[in-house]
Amino acid sequence: ILFFFFFFFSINPLGKHGLNLICMGVLRPCSRCRPWWVPLIASSILVLCFIQARADETQQLLGDLELEVNPADIVAQIERLGHLSDTTPPSITRILYSKNDVRAREFVKRLMTDAGLTVREDAVGNIFGRLEGEDDTLAPVVSGSHTDAIPQSGKYDGVLGVLGAIEALKAIKRSGFKPKRPLEALMFTSEEPTRFGLSCIGSRAMCGRLEASKLDSLRDSNGTSFLDAARSANYGQGLSTQEMLDRAFVPKGGIHAFVELHIEQGPLLEQKELQVGVVTAIAAPASVTMDFKGNGGHAGALLMPYRKDAGLVAAELALSVEGAALGTKVIDTVATMGVLEVYPGAVNSVPRQAHVEIDVRDIDEQRRDSVLDDIISFAQQIAKRRDVEMEYKVINQDPPAPCAAHVVDAVQEAADDLGLSSMKMVSRAYHDALFMAQIAPTGMIFIPCKGGVSHRPDEFSKPEDMVNGIKALALTMAKLANASGMDDETCDEKE
């Protein structure tokens, strides 16, 4: 108000003298009239000081937040969710749209409701729990992960990020802090690729990186389509696949910032005795399937010079996959032949067919794709030399995502404010955050897990580590919700 008052008089020739007279009693220590521009500069300084004072007040308020998280609550919730499994705990199996997946969804919605959050679901089954802010017209700050689990895995992967987000909002609400923006806890649909061979279905749908024709072409091991599976879980009723995706889509700007809490799934934090990992980039996979066809025959009767052994092509290629990754001499490049199947699979039969699936990951997209190209070239050379037919198909090549600088800074500041030891690190595993980075500034928080073990029944994180992560998440979300002048940057443009 001061700024515009003085500005009006300063540009009005008739008002400049009057302005000087007014300012004699407001901005002087002497009785002589100042030049007209003196009050303009002074008022600008007053405005800037006011803005800085409000920012300092907000930061002081954030620094004084009393965040209470009960470790017994989060442990009990993880244990209860662990019993919603197709296998006996501690082995966890929870497949998309299965009975136990639906039960897990109901459990998460009850937790959200009990926390005083407003619950909604989109057409593919992403579940949101909302804590209202001072201005609910603003885009929310969101945190979440997944609860589906690959066969015979553990209790913590993904689950911590869902339950932790709910607990973070509960802690913020208990503290009495009122965020400027709304905050949301989110459970994504199907981060794991178990049922349909496609990962991150929920987050892909939200950012518009999923085509209806792709989903419609997918079948599970029983021949069930995605749409039929969704309807069996009471999603997509009366809708086409395209309509489901349209209703799940979130445009850029629809989410102010996204932060995912997760176990590290690696050993670094535990080895270095650090409490929190501040993620700066998320690696992404490119995957390819290959099928080889030779002649096969009786293991005794088919002599060595006449064999076209498809199994040996796959075996030789496995070492070439390792060599291609090591050849970059960069620690961030990894390659894995995770599936190797030979047919007919009898001890007295020369393999006539082989099927392999290969995963290549890196935070550098060009380097990763170059390794993938090398592996395909190696496979073609080996198959030709052994006189075996070859077919291959590149399944996906998702772009890696650097985390938004101001979100990384918010996570780091939260860790520092809480007195938590930390390090900056790369996420080498695949997460929904990779796709959320397409539509919102994104970051991640890691906590240690025992031995770096994940996707196994002995997966484990200490209660105190989970509490540290939840508190860091809560403070990060509060900072992002109340920060002013943040750049709404995203990592990649939507294709």
Q: What is the mean pLDDT of residues 110-129?
A: 98
What would the mean pLDDT of 430-434 be, rounded to a whole number? 94
455 vs 155: CA distance, rounded Å: 9
Give the DSSP H or E segment for 184: strand 183-188
* Mean pLDDT score, 189-197: 95
- pLDDT value for 396: 87
Which conformational region is residue 182 in: left (phi greater than 0), alpha (psi within -120 to 50 degrees), or beta? beta
Phi then psi dihedrals of residue 223, to 5 deg: 85, 10
The length of the chain in residues reads 495
Mean pLDDT of the region 142-167: 98
pLDDT of res. 395: 87
How far from the centroid of its chain's Cα atoms is residue 485's Cα? 24
Residue 61: per-residue pLDDT: 57
Copy the structure tokens of residue 492: 């990649």
What whole-number distance in Å separates Cα of residue 198 and Cα of residue 142?
23
* Three-state SS annotation for 196-245: CCCCCHHHHHHHCCCCHHHHHHCECCCCCEHHHHHHHCCCCCCCCHHHHH
**CB-based contacts of 291, cutoff 8 Å, min separation 6:** 353, 354, 355, 390, 391, 392
Tell me: the pLDDT tens digits for 253-284?
Answer: 999 999 999 999 999 999 999 999 999 999 99
Residue type, 441: P
pLDDT at 148 over 80: yes
Rounded to two decimals, what is the model's pTM? Answer: 0.82
Label the pairing between strands 183-188 and 141-146. Answer: parallel
pLDDT above 50: residue 52: yes
Q: Quick one: tokens of 212?
A: 């209806």
pLDDT at res. 125: 98
Share of the chain above pLDDT 90, in %: 83
* pLDDT tens digit sequence for 199-211: 999 999 999 999 9
pLDDT at 489 over 50: no
Percent of residues, the chain, with pLDDT higher than 70: 85
Which of 271, 260, 312 minimizes the C-alpha distance to 430? 260
Tokens of 429: 């595993």
- pLDDT given for residue 35 in this prediction: 61
Q: Give just the sign of the alpha carbon dihedral 142, 148, 153, 155.
A: positive
Mean predicted lDDT score pLDDT of the chain: 90
In this structure, are residues 430 and 246 in contact, taking their beta carbons and an 8 Å threshold?
no
Q: Given this model, what pLDDT does residue 48 score? A: 61
β-strands 442-447, 276-282 pairing: antiparallel
pLDDT at 195 over 80: yes
Among positive and negative, which fits the CA dihedral 315, 265, 110, 184? Answer: negative
> How buried is 214 (Cβ within 10 angstroms: 0-12 exposed, 13-18 middle, 19+ buried)?
middle
**Nearest Cα to 479, choosing from 382, 414, 395?**
414
Mind listing the pLDDT tens digit for each residue in 344-367?
999 999 999 999 999 999 999 999
Report pLDDT for 30.
46
Confidence check: pLDDT of 387 > 60: yes
Backbone angles phi, psi at 24, to 5 degrees: -60, -35
- Per DSSP (E only), the strands in 344-492 are 349-350, 353-362, 389-397, 401-402, 422-427, 442-447
pLDDT category, 65, cuts 50, 70, 90? confident
Q: What is the pLDDT of residue 37?
A: 56
Residue 462 has pLDDT above 90, yes or no: yes
Per the CB < 8 A criterion, the answer to whether 334 and 361 are in contact is: yes
Question: What integer pLDDT is reported at residue 20 of this predicted model?
Answer: 53
Phi, psi of 211 (to 5 degrees): -100, 140
Q: Is 330 helix (H, G, I), strand (E, B) or coil?
A: coil
Please give the Cα distance from 317 to 336 (Å, whole number). Answer: 11
Long-range Cβ pairs for the range 195-198 (8 Å, 24+): 195/95, 195/96, 195/97, 195/98, 195/220, 195/229, 196/96, 196/220, 196/226, 196/229, 197/395, 198/396
470: which 2 tokens? 């939840």
DSSP per-residue codes, 54-116: HHHHHHHHHHT------HHHHHHHHHHHHTSSSS-TTSEEE-TTSHHHHHHHHHHHHHHHHTT
Mean pLDDT of 318-334: 97
Provide the residue type at 299 as one letter: A
- For 305, phi then psi, to 5°, come to -65, -20
pLDDT over 70 at 118, yes or no: yes
Instruction: Give me the helices (H) in 99-192, please.
Output: 99-114, 159-175
In this prediction, residue 94 has a pLDDT band, given cuts at 50, 70 and 90, of: very high
> Quick one: pLDDT at residue 494?
34
Indicate if the pLDDT at residue 487 is higher than 50: no
Q: Which residue has the higher pLDDT, 487 or 403?
A: 403
Q: How many CB atoms lie within 10 A of CB 116?
A: 12
pLDDT tens digits for range 402-431: 999 999 999 999 999 999 999 999 999 989
For residue 187, pLDDT over 70 is answered with: yes
- The answer on pLDDT for 1 being more than 80 is no
Is the pLDDT at 492 greater than 70? The verdict is: no
128 vs 111: CA distance, rounded Å:
11
Share in percent of the chain as helix, strand, coil (round to 5): 40, 20, 40
- Rounded to an integer, the average pLDDT of 107-132 is 98
Task: Report residue 14's pLDDT band, with 50, 70 and 90 as the boundaries.
Answer: very low
